[in-house]
Homo-oligomer: A and B are copies of this chain.
C-alpha cells in the first residue's frame, strides 16, 4: 500500500543527538512523543487528536520542531497531517532513548 511521501525530514544518519535532546527538552513536545508512543502505536494521528489546550499555530510549531529534529515523521492525508515517531530510526541510532520517554514517571 502506498503511503504519501513524508514531509521533509533528516535522513537517519543525519539525526543529531543534541537536536533530539533539544526537541525533547520542551515539556509539551515530550508529552506529544510519549502519547504517540503509548497510545497510538498502530496508526498515525493528526494534530487535533492530542487534545492539547493550545492554539493551532503553537502546535504546528512544535510538530515542526519534532519533525526537523528527526523524532517524528509526518504525512499529508488530504486535510490532515499525521505524525508518528520514527521508532525504527531512533532505536537504531539511539537505542533505549524512546524507552526513557515512555517509562519516565510524570507528576
Report chain B residues within 8 Å CB of A94: 100, 104
Q: How large is the interface on A (under 10, 10 to 19, 20 to 34, 35 or more residues)?
A: 10 to 19
If A19-B25, A22-B22, A96-B100 are given as contacts, then 14 extra A-B residue pairs at C-beta distance below 8 Å, sorted by A number, are A17-B30, A17-B100, A17-B101, A18-B26, A18-B30, A21-B22, A21-B24, A21-B30, A22-B25, A94-B100, A94-B104, A95-B96, A96-B96, A96-B99
A102 to chain B, nearest CB (A): 11
Tell me, yes or no, whether A27 is within 8 Å of chain B by CB: yes
> 8 tightest A-B contacts by CB?
A96-B96, A22-B25, A21-B25, A21-B21, A17-B104, A21-B24, A94-B100, A18-B25
